[in-house]
Amino acid sequence: MSANTVQVRFADRRSAISLAVFAALVVALAAAPAWAGRDDLHLLGEIFAYVALASLWNLLAGYAGLVSVGQQAFVGLGGYMLFALAILAGLSPLLAIPAAGLIGAVAAVPVAALVFRLRGHYFAIGTWVVAEVFRLLASQASALGGGSGTSLPAATVIAIAETRAMREFVIYWIALALAVAIFALILWLLRSRYGLALTAIRDNELAAASNGVDVARVKLVVYVFTACGTAMVGALVFLQKLRISPDAAFSVNDWTAFVIFITVIGGIGRLEGPIVGTIVFFALRQALADRGALYLLMLGAVAIAVMLYAPKGIWGLIVARLDWQIFPLQRRVTLTRDKSEGEAT
């Protein structure tokens, strides 16, 4: 009887190449202040924010099966915490971003305790209600401008950097770093035990539970993690805008509809999906810039069409054809026998 050694590997040669290309891209983007104009930097910053938000929503809905249409609750919470900490506590805005993330994580726990009592579609609407509650509470907070919102005071803005150009570079780099960090953390999470548990839960919750997976705990961890990241992105977004108001902070359109469409069109349940989706989304937006309502209408129609005819999104179509993965996530099992090598996935 020959001995078999079993190895579990993540990467293969193609993904190694793709990963290298991706790394090079990140470096090029980091150097953007040198080669990009002011408007382009803003656009890139927006893109990074949406990539991060979509990746987080993808983790929540595509991997943990928690379809939330209320993530704007944490975007707004993050934004308002940044303003609150900067204005009321005099905290440096750069420190306020991670602090906002922490507050988001803490807030997510009681929220989860409530909304996890609902299942499926009702869970989705429940998260929306929570976001509405946050919005209404923010409208009541007169210290932060109540219903019409407030601006970041000049002193706080100057504290970021001396010149306006430098400030924009700093915010840009934070946006890039945040997007990369969130992405890397999600990748790390999915490769860990939690990732395996998530895939099991996604495939068959009952079977996962009977195999010892603590389903409730895994879902809570993912929900809190997502809330933390979403809050940080929210803080960043409103730092960049320099102004916040309840309607902007908790907008369903901006922070949920767009994010969902991006993820669906790009491909749910795949790490690369949100990136592909964001690119497509912004390309569409540049093309249809001035059409307002018509643009949103088209977006809705495209999302429906994708859901019906290509439910795995654009990246799903690519994977089906080429079996690509840029980010090594799929566990490939290799069996080595004495002299020959067989591969099974």
Partner 1 sequence: MEWTNTIVQGILTGGLYAMFAAGLSLIFGVMRLVNIAHGDFIVLAAYLALVVTETLGLDPLLSLIIVVPLMAAIGYALQRGLLNRTLGDDLLPPLLVTFGLSVIIQNGLLEIFTADSRRLQAGAIEVASWQLAPGLAIGVLPLLQFVIAVVVIGALQALFYRTAFGRAFRATSDDPSVARLMGLDNAHVFGLAMALSLAVVAIAGVLLAVRTNFDPAIGPARLIFGFEAVIIGGLGSLWGTLAGGVVLGVAQAIGAKLDPGWQLLAGHLAFLAVLAIKPEGLFPRIRG
Which residues in this chain contact partner 1 in the complex, by CB under 8 A? Answer: 61, 67, 69, 113-115, 117-118, 120-122, 124-126, 128-130, 132-133, 136-137, 139-140, 252-253, 257, 260-261, 264, 268, 293-294, 296-297, 299-301, 303-304, 307-308, 311
Toward partner 1, which CB reaches closer, 156 or 256? 256
The answer to whether 60 and 186 are in contact (CB under 8 A) is: no
Residue 326: CA count within 13 A, CB half-sphere: 19
Q: Dihedral through CA 169, CA 174, CA 179, CA 184, nearest 10? A: 120
CA distance 254 to 239: 16
Task: Collapse the DSSP code of 342 into the 3-class scheme (helix H, G, I; strand E, B; otherwise coil) and give the result.
Answer: strand
CB of 197 to partner 1, least distance (A): 20
CB of 296 to partner 1, least distance (A): 5
CA distance 193 to 111: 25
Toward partner 1, which CB reaches closer, 24 or 106? 106
Toward partner 1, which CB reaches closer, 115 or 326? 115
Toward partner 1, which CB reaches closer, 172 or 261? 261
CB of 113 to partner 1, least distance (A): 8
Backbone angles phi, psi at 279, to 5 degrees: -60, -50
C-alpha 167: how far from chain center: 24
DSSP structural state of residue 213 = -
Count Cβ atoms within 10 A of the Cβ of residue 30 and give its class: 0-12 exposed, 13-18 middle, 19 or more buried: middle
Kindly report the CA angle at 198 between 192 and 199, in degrees rounded to 5?
100
Toward partner 1, which CB reaches closer, 235 or 299? 299
CB of 194 to partner 1, least distance (A): 21
CB of 294 to partner 1, least distance (A): 6
Toward partner 1, which CB reaches closer, 45 or 76? 76
CB of 58 to partner 1, least distance (A): 12
CA distance 113 to 221: 12
